[in-house]
């Protein structure tokens, strides 16, 4: 079993926020790959499916923690303990202030970089999860960060975000099959970041 979690906040008023990029990505994966209907378990909305990979079908659980962003680790740990899997089988998609808008990086382990959702998962489960970092850019002043991440994607940003989401969805079998470099390469090829791939 693989666990693929998206980070976000559950209330409808947060639906299109930058901070809900992870929720939006796993929603798109579920639709495109024929996962089961969403239901509540592990303090999360979850659905299951089989992903066809080169190595054969892989069973995956998609998760949207309902604990709110900063306590995401509670839900992810509950699922990991239930399925008796380690952090190497967990991938988390989330928004990333430290990457330019539209840039995507798959990373295993490392620090939380000030992201409270990743901080929570590291504390409750392990820092050694795999992270799908979706660049949203930085507002330029740390005092503006909260309002920035809790604001909806503007229409101009939805162009690159929807292209990136589609690229992740189309490349998902590579991720599920453990072809991590191939997944990163294909996502970047299908949806290059606008204005280049430089970090902020």
Catalytic annotation present for 189: no
Please give the C-alpha separations between residue 199 and each of 67, 116, 134, 140, 194, in angstroms, as whole numbers: 30, 20, 12, 13, 12
Q: What's the burial of 139, exposed, middle or buried (CB within 10 Å: 0-12/13-18/19+)?
A: middle
In 3-state terms, what secondary structure has residue 96? Answer: strand
Distance CA 11, CA 20 (A): 10
User: For residues 136 and 18, is the Cβ–Cβ distance under 8 A?
Assistant: yes
Give the active site residues: 19
């Amino acid at each position: 079993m693989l666990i693929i979690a998206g980070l976000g906040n559950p209330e409808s008023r947060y639906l299109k926020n930058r901070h809900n990029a992870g929720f939006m990505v796993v929603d798109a994966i579920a639709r495109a790959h024929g996962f089961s209907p969403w239901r509540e378990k592990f303090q999360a909305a979850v659905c299951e499916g089989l992903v066809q990979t080169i190595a054969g079908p892989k069973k995956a659980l998609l998760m949207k923690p309902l604990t709110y962003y900063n306590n995401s680790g509670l839900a992810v740990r509950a699922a990991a303990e239930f399925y008796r899997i380690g952090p190497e089988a967990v991938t988390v998609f989330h928004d990333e202030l430290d990457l330019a808008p539209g840039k995507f990086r798959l990373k295993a382990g490392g620090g939380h970089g000030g992201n409270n959702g990743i901080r929570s998962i590291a504390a409750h489960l392990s820092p050694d999860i795999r992270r799908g970092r979706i660049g949203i850019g930085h507002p330029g002043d740390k005092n503006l960060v909260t309002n920035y991440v809790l604001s909806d994607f503007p229409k101009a940003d939805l162009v690159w975000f929807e292209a990136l989401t589609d690229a992740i969805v189309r490349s998902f079998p590579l991720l599920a099959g453990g072809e991590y470099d191939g997944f990163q390469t294909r996502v970047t090829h299908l949806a290059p970041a606008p204005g280049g791939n430089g970090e902020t």
